Amino acid sequence: MKNKNSNNKNSSNKSFKNQSKAATKNQPTDTKNGNGKNKQSENETITSKNELAKTNPKADKKNHKTAYVADKFRLGITIGDLNGIGIEVIVKTFSDSRMLEHCIPVIYGSSRAISYHRKVLKADDFTYHITNNISRLKPSICNVLNCWTEEVQITIGRPNPKIGRYALRAIESAAYDISQGKLDAIITAPVNKKLLNTDKMHFSGHTEYFAEKFQVDENLMFLVSDTLRVGLATNHLPIKDVANAITKDLVLKKIKLMAHSLQQDFGIMRPKIAVMGLNPHAGDDGLIGKEEETAIIPAIEAAKADNLLTFGPYAADGFFGSNMYRQFDGILAMYHDQGLVAFKALSFGHGVNFTAGMPVVRTSPDHGTAYDIAGKNIASESSFRNAVYLAMDIIRNRKQFAEITANPLDKESLLEDIESEGRRK
C-alpha cells in the first residue's frame, strides 16, 4: 500500500522484518536447555532502560556492551493456551538467533511447559534462561519468567478447562510489568477464550482485556499485513447487535483512531482511509438498510471536514474482490467477519493483530490455538514472527513520531511573526 502523500521515514525496506532477512545468522549461544552458562557474566542483569542509557559507551568495553543492550526492545511474550500451537510458534520464532539481535524476549508462563513442548518438538536449538524476576534477564537469549510453580497436566491438542487460568496468569503478569515500564511491548500467543472465562471474570478477547486494564474507552482492532490494514468498527459483537451499534459517533471515532495510528504507529503522515458499508451493496442508496445514510456517510463527511482523507462507503465484496484495497493505507470494516474474512483470505498465516489506540504496544498472530495440528511440529511461525517484527517497528515509529511532534509550531505565533516580518520590510 503506497501512499504518495505519506512522508514515512520508516519505509518497509527499513523494517525489522527486512533487516532480519538481510542479516547474517549469528552463532548460537552456549546456553544448553536453559541451565548452562552464557557467554556473558552470570552476574550481568538487565535492570531498567533508563539506568542502562546512563552508561557511557566509550568508558570501557563492559559499558559499551551494556549500551548496546540498552538499545534492545524488551518484549513480553504470553504463553497462550498450553495445549495449542502457541508454545510451538514461540519456540520456532526464537530458535532463530537473528531474532535476538534487536530484542530481549521474556516468555511469561512456565519453564516446565516450555520444556515439555520443546521435547515433543525435538527443538534442541531452542535455549532459554529461567528467571522469576523481570529485573534479572539475559540479553542474548530467551528468558522464561515463571508465573506459576505448580505442576500442570498438558494434553496437547485437546482443550482443558483447568488450564485456562494459567494462560490468564501469564497475561496478567505481562500487563502488570508493561504498566510499570519494564517491557516495551507485549506479543500474545493465542488462547481459548472460553477457558479463560470464570464466574469472577468475563474474557471476550485480548483487545477488550487490555482496553479495560489500561482504562482506554476507545480502541481499534487492527489487522495488519504487508499489503493490507483492516480495522474494525465493532469487535467481538453478536451479528444481531451490530446494526444498532453503528452510529455516526462510533464510526467517526474509529476513523480518527485509525488515522492517528497510521501516523503514529506506521509513519504515514497523510493516510488514505476507505470505509466499508454495513449492508449489501453499501445499502443501495437506502434500498437495503439505512445505516449508510444515517451513520456511515455522515461520519465520512465529518472526517473529511476534519481534513482526513476518508472515502466510501464501499460494498465489501467488490472492494476486496477488485483489489481496490491496494489504493488505501487503511480500511475500516463495520463488523468482525466483514473485515477478517477478507483479511485472512488475502493474508492468512502472515498477518498480525494489533490493538491501536492503546498507551502500550500489543500484537498477536492472526490465528487461533489450532488444536488440530498442535504437537505435530507443522505449525508455521510466520504470523507470530511478524507480530514480533511489527511490535518493534511500532515502538520505533512511536518514538520518532513523539520526537517530530514534541514542539509543534504554534499557528498564531507563526502568523504574528510573518506579519511582523512583513511590516519591517
Q: How far is Cα 350 from Cα 233, in angstroms, rounded to an integer?
A: 22
- The pair phi, psi for residue 190, each rounded to 5°, is -65, 145
Residue 241, H or E segment: helix 239-245
The per-residue pLDDT for 14 is: 60
pLDDT-above-90 percentage for the chain: 67
CATH architecture for the domain at 218-354:
3-Layer(aba) Sandwich (3.40)
* Domain pair 8-216+358-425 / 218-354, same fold: yes
The per-residue pLDDT for 203 is: 83
The pLDDT confidence band at residue 8, using thresholds 50, 70 and 90, is very low
The per-residue pLDDT for 335 is: 97
Is the pLDDT score of 251 beyond 80?
yes
The pLDDT confidence band at residue 211, using thresholds 50, 70 and 90, is confident
The per-residue pLDDT for 406 is: 81
Is the pLDDT score of 34 beyond 70?
no
The per-residue pLDDT for 48 is: 34
The pLDDT confidence band at residue 323, using thresholds 50, 70 and 90, is very high
Is the pLDDT score of 354 beyond 60?
yes
Per DSSP, the three-state class of 105 is strand
Cell of 344: 485472512
Whether this model's pTM surpasses 0.85: no
Average pLDDT over residues 373-388: 96
Cell of 65: 556492551
For 60, half-sphere exposure in the C-beta direction (CA atoms, 13 angstrom radius) is: 1
The per-residue pLDDT for 54 is: 35
Q: How far is Cα 280 from Cα 131, in angstroms, rounded to an integer?
A: 54
User: Does 3.40.718.10 match the CATH number of domain 8-216+358-425?
Assistant: yes
The per-residue pLDDT for 388 is: 97
Q: How far is Cα 228 from Cα 310, in angstroms, rounded to an integer?
A: 16
Average pLDDT over residues 134-150: 94
Domain ranges in the chain are: 8-216+358-425, 218-354
Average pLDDT over residues 378-397: 96
Average pLDDT over residues 255-277: 97
Average predicted confidence (pLDDT) for the chain:
84
The per-residue pLDDT for 401 is: 93
What residues have CB less than 8 Å from 7, skipping those under 6 apart?
A: 269, 270
Is the pLDDT score of 46 beyond 70?
no
Check residues 3 and 104 and name the one with the higher pLDDT: 104
